Amino acid sequence: MKILITGGCGFVGSNIAIYLKKRIKKSSIYSLDNLIRKGSIINQNRLRNYKIKNFNFNIENFEKIKKLPKFDLVVDCCAEPAIEASRGDPDRVFATNLIGTFNILKKCIADNANIIFLSSSRVYSIEKLRELVKKVKISNPIKIRKKIKENFHTSSASSLYGFTKLASEKLINEFFFTTKQKYIINRFGVISGPWQFGKQDQGFISLWMAKYFFKKKLSYIGFGGNGHQIRDVIHIDDVCKIIYLQIKNLKKIYNKTFNIGGGLKNSISLKDLSKKCEKITKNKIKINRVSRTSSYDIPYYISDNTKVNKFYKWQPSKNINQILNDIYLWLSKEKLIKKYFK
Global confidence as pTM = 0.94
Amino acid occupying residue 341: F
Pairing mode, if any, of strands 2-6 and 73-76?
Answer: parallel
List pLDDT tens digits, range 33-91: 999 887 899 999 999 999 999 999 999 999 999 999 999 999 999 988 776 656 678 89
Domains held by the chain: number: 1
- Give Rg (Cα) of the chain: 19
Q: Are 305 and 261 in contact (CB under 8 A)?
A: yes
**What's the average model confidence in pLDDT over 182-186?**
98
> Residue 59's domain spans which residues?
2-341
Instruction: Indicate which CATH number applies to the domain containing 255.
Output: 3.40.50.720
Q: What angle do CA 83, 197, 120 make, to 5 degrees?
A: 40
Residue 331 CB partners (closer than 8 Å, separation 6+): 209, 210, 213, 214, 337
Write down the pLDDT at residue 39. Answer: 86
Pairing mode, if any, of strands 230-235 and 267-269?
Answer: antiparallel
Q: Which of 20-24, 152-156, 254-258, 336-340 shows the lowest per-residue confidence on average (mean pLDDT)?
A: 336-340
Q: Are 207 and 198 in contact (CB under 8 A)?
A: yes
Q: What are phi and psi of 73, to 5 degrees?
A: -150, 140
Q: Are 161 and 88 in contact (CB under 8 A)?
A: no
Cβ-based neighbour number of residue 23 at 10 Å? 13
